[in-house]
A = this chain, B = another copy of it.
Amino acid sequence: MDMQSLSGKPDGRLPRYQQLRDDLVRRIAEGEWSPEKAIATEAELSQFYNVSTGTLRKAIDLLVADGVLTRTQGKGTFVRRPRFDSSLFRFFRFKSVDGKPVRPTAKVLRREVVKPNETIRSTLQMKATEKTLHLSRVRMIEGEAVLSEEIWLPRSRFEGLATLPLGDFEDLLYPLYERLCRQIVASATEILNVEKATEADAALLRIEVGSPVILVQRVASDFAGTPIEWRTTRGAAEAFQYQVDIR
Q: A14 interface residue, CB < 8 Å from B?
A: no
**Count class of interface residues, chain A:** 35 or more
Within 8 A of B (CB), among A87-131: 87-88
Q: A34 interface residue, CB < 8 Å from B?
A: no
In the bound complex, residues from chain B placing their C-beta under 8 Å from that of A211 are 196, 210, 212
Q: What's the minimum C-beta distance from A229 to chain B, rounded to whole angstroms? A: 12
Q: A33 interface residue, CB < 8 Å from B?
A: no
> Do residues A82 and B193 form an inter-chain contact, with CB atoms below 8 A?
no
Q: A187 interface residue, CB < 8 Å from B?
A: yes
Bound: A241/B192 CA distance, A: 6
- How many identical chains are in the complex? 2
Bound: A107/B137 CA distance, A: 47
> Do residues B194 and A246 form an inter-chain contact, with CB atoms below 8 A?
no
Q: A44 interface residue, CB < 8 Å from B?
A: no
Q: What's the minimum C-beta distance from A189 to chain B, rounded to whole angstroms? A: 5
> Do residues A212 and B189 form an inter-chain contact, with CB atoms below 8 A?
no
The residue from B188, B191, B238, B241 contacting A242, defined by CB atoms under 8 A apart: B191
Task: Return the chain B residue nearest A241 by Cβ.
Answer: B193
Name A's B-contacting residues (CB within 8 A).
Answer: 54, 65-68, 82, 84-88, 186-196, 210-212, 214, 237-238, 240-247
Can you name 13 A-B pairs with beta carbons within 8 Å?
A65-B65, A67-B247, A82-B247, A87-B246, A88-B244, A186-B247, A189-B243, A190-B246, A193-B241, A193-B242, A194-B212, A237-B237, A242-B242
